[in-house]
Amino acid sequence: MADTTNGGAPAAAAANKPGIRPANPNFSSGPCAKRPGWTLSNLEDACLGRSHRSKPGKAKLAYAIELTREVLGIPDDYKIGIVPASDTGAVEMAMWSLLGARPVDMLAWESFGSGWVTDVIKQLKLDDARKIEAGYGELPDLSQVDPTHDVVFTWNGTTSGVRVPNADWIAADREGLTICDATSAAFAQDLDWAKLDVVTYSWQKVLGGEAAHGMLILSPRAVERLESYTPAWPMPKIFRLTKGGKLIDGIFKGETINTPSMLCVEDYIDALEWSKSIGGLKGLMARADANMAALTKWVEETPWVDFLCKDVANRSNTSVCLTIVDEALTEEQQAAASKKLASLLDAEGVAYDIGAYRDAPAGLRIWAGATIEVADMQALLPWLDWAYAEAKQAEAA
């Protein structure tokens, strides 16, 4: 946010509509924009009308897993599975199957992390679960995490724009397992695999894939827990990862628990092959970082807006959360202006779905992940100024 002595009033030039529009107005934080150049014709090789258990179907699923390992740099001894119900399903599978063997620290600083806290305390009813929380825009004190406990956390808070800066706070000689919801971090941020025992994400975030399918990645330590520990509660079929005390290894070779959409699988493969073509993980991260750099420069020059996350090291480069800080407006007017701004840009066909998440503080949430072109991000910024000038005028009237 730029310094201002005029109460945060927007520049007069912002009253005119900008002449350039983003070529792609899809700035939603999930499902996210498709990759540049995507068309339905990219999916013509999908294994349709065939069983996912057929040789061609199994080959497609195995290829998706192979590409996932290659692009993300996942260690060879980690298991990668395609599971139902998006990232939520993957996280729930991990918690229901693995927790209860030792105390667990639940980290939360936004809505999805808070949801995992609720499930563990109210549904699994774990008496030795400990909440370590912080408000929107902040990280909790990570030094409180006990290495003898399991820990559940989101790497990147999709609804707060706050991420962990690294995994230095996780002990290399930990006794507990680390269960990481990485749904808006995978493919845009550098995950430290040596520190992570369970990683989950969905296809619909950084790669712009389709919803309803999740990824579950297990370290050897997580597999050992699965094979040596039986939870006290009944296990729904859709969560079962073991049989007779042994890992159901087929899940991690493409033999999915339920029927996947082979059209969605093809779309995921397409996104992964595109990722390889632009330099793999490094190329994906560079694209997200370039979008974040464009946003950061604009925020620093713009008096009426600021990042919800004040600590630069903890700011997400994918789900960027902004708040209105114009002192000329009351807090209630700021909230109303942010909604008006999002509505105006939606009506103009310039930016869709950029309002803050329903449980988050009022403001904006702009997706800056790898499928967004930096030229589109740069084209959006003058429109934000225009829409804010319009929204402020409406609130001041």
Q: Which amino acid is at 275?
A: S
CA-to-CA distance for 176 and 11, rounded, in angstroms?
A: 53
Type of residue found at 45: D
The structure tokens listed for 21 are 């529009």
Q: So what's the pLDDT on residue 383?
A: 98
CA–CA separation, 381 and 387 (whole Å): 10
Name the residue type at position 333: Q
The span from the CA of 151 to the CA of 167, in Å, is 13
Q: What is the pTM of this model?
A: 0.95
For residues 102 and 109, what is the distance between their CA atoms, to the nearest angstrom?
A: 23
Q: What is the pLDDT, as a whole number, of residue 397?
A: 78
Q: How far apart are CA 180 and CA 196, in angstroms?
A: 7
- Provide DSSP, 135-201: -TT----GGG--TTSEEEEESEETTTTEE-S-STTS-TT-SSPEEEE-TTTTTTS---GGG-SEEEE
CA distance 334 to 356: 13
- DSSP state at residue 45: T
Q: Which residue has the tokens 């033999």?
A: 255
How many angstroms separate the CA atoms of 101 and 92, rounded?
A: 16
What is the pLDDT, as a whole number, of residue 312? 98
How many Å apart are CA 362 and CA 358, to the nearest integer?
A: 8
**200: its two tokens:** 């989950």
- Lookup: tokens for 368: 């800056």
Contact between 366 and 344 (Cβ < 8 Å): no
Q: How far apart are CA 302 and CA 64, in angstroms?
A: 43
Tens of pLDDT, residues 39-48: 999 999 999 9
Q: Do the Cβ atoms of 109 and 138 come closer than 8 Å?
A: yes
Cα separation, 87 vs 182, in Å, equals 9
Rounded CA separation 296/330 (Å): 25
Helix, strand, coil fractions of the chain, as percent rounded to 5: 40, 15, 45
Domains contained in the chain, CATH given = 12-34+280-396 (3.90.1150.10), 40-277 (3.40.640.10)
| Order of all β-strands in the sheet with 305-307 | 305-307, 319-324, 364-367
Amino acid (1-letter code) at residue 278: I
pLDDT of res. 15 = 67
Could you state, in chain order, the average pLDDT of each consecutive group of 10 residues for the chain (397 residues)?
A: 47 71 98 98 97 96 98 98 97 98 98 96 97 98 98 98 98 98 98 98 98 97 98 95 97 96 98 98 98 98 98 98 97 97 98 97 98 98 98 90
Cα→Cα distances 250→74, 81, 247, 352, Å: 18, 9, 9, 40
Inter-residue contact 356 to 279 (CB < 8 Å):
no
Q: CA of 386: how far to CAs of 310, 382, 393, in Å? A: 25, 6, 11
Given phi > 0 = left and psi -120 to 50 = alpha, else beta, which region is 324? beta
What's the CA gap between 139 and 122, in Å, rounded? 23
Residue 87: is it exposed, middle or buried by C-beta count within 10 angstroms (0-12/13-18/19+)? buried
CA 302 vs. chain centroid, Å, equals 27
